[in-house]
């Protein structure tokens, strides 16, 4: 009888390495050299070089004049198409939520260990509301949107108690964790197959945000978006 190995032969090691390399390059705050990438991946330089050459052939990665690695045009196009689809679907839902609650509504996705705001809609008819800008980043461990994103995943041994509470209730609440004096309610955006793709949230002054009133509308909007993306 042939010997069996403990390795999972249902996965492509080459593809896995390429995707890992692409992820490191795309999420790095500064362009890196092949040697730096090789060290990050724990791979030999020759293996890393072949991965980079393949990614270059598909215009996913390019080397600048100093030989440092950055994302190329095809990576930008792929990322843009995914984000545009998410944002175009979310736009009317965020607009309705912002105007119904007279609060700023926003969409958040996870990027590694951070929650990133990718879309913001301010209410049209209100005398005052909280301004919030796209591109805002904070730890997934802080703030209602981050908690909601974590609640959409499987439970972790050392997670915050608030994550399990949000997992059970379907929404998260935080106060002063991202912006002093501001409170937020957020809900995970989960598609029919159970995948959490984003979190939908609103932000307002802590003293004027009644979570018991706001939460049902936020969760309803998140459910609507999840169905639309399915």
Q: What whole-number distance in Å separates Cα of residue 191 and Cα of residue 197?
A: 7
Q: What are the residue ranges of CATH 3.30.450.40 in the chain? A: 82-229
Distance set, CA 108 to CA 58, 118, 175 (Å): 29, 6, 17
Residues making up the chain, counted from first to last: 230
Q: Which residue has the higher pLDDT, 80 or 193?
A: 193
* Angstrom distances, CA of residue 118 to CA of 17, 55, 61, 109, 195: 28, 27, 23, 7, 18
- Identify the pLDDT of residue 14: 86
Over the chain, what is the mean pLDDT?
86
Q: What are phi and psi of 150, to 5 degrees?
A: -65, -35
Among 71, 72, 67, 30, smallest CA distance to 49 is for 67
pLDDT digits (tens, 9 = 90+) for 203-225: 988 777 888 899 999 999 999 99
Q: Which fold has domain 82-229?
A: Beta-Lactamase (3.30.450)
Question: Residue 80: pLDDT above 60?
Answer: no
Each residue of 143-189: pLDDT tens digit? 999 999 999 988 888 899 999 999 999 999 999 998 888 999 999 99
CATH topology assigned to domain 13-75: Arc Repressor Mutant, subunit A (1.10.10)
Helix (H) or strand (E) holding 169, with range, is helix 161-169
User: Cα–Cα distance between 189 and 111 in angstroms, integer?
Assistant: 15
pLDDT, mean of residues 78-103: 84
Q: Kindly report the pTM of this predicted structure.
A: 0.66
pLDDT average, residue stretch 61-81: 75
* Domain(s) of CATH 1.10.10.10: residues in the chain: 13-75
- The confidence score (pLDDT) of residue 198 equals 93
């Amino acid at each position: 009888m042939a010997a069996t190995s403990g390795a999972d032969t249902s996965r492509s090691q080459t593809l896995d390495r390429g995707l890992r390399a692409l992820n490191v390059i795309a999420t790095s705050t500064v362009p890196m050299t092949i040697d730096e990438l090789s060290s990050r991946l724990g791979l030999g330089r020759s293996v890393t070089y072949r991965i980079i050459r393949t990614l270059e052939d598909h215009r996913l990665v390019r080397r600048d004049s100093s030989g440092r690695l950055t994302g190329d045009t095809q990576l930008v196009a792929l990322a843009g198409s995914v984000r545009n689809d998410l944002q175009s679907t979310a736009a009317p839902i965020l607009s309705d939520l912002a105007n119904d609650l007279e609060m700023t509504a926003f969409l958040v996705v996870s990027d590694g260990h951070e929650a990133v705001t990718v879309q913001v809609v301010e209410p049209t008819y209100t005398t005052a509301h909280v301004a919030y800008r796209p591109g805002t980043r904070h730890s997934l461990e802080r703030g209602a949107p981050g908690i909601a994103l974590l609640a959409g995943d499987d439970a972790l041994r050392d997670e915050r108690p608030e994550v399990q509470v949000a997992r059970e209730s379907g929404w998260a609440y935080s106060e002063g964790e991202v912006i002093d004096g501001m409170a937020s309610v957020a809900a995970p955006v989960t598609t029919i197959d159970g995948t959490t793709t984003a979190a939908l949230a609103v932000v307002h002054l802590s003293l004027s945000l009644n979570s018991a009133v706001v939460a049902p509308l936020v969760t309803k909007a998140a459910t609507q978006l999840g169905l639309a993306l399915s």
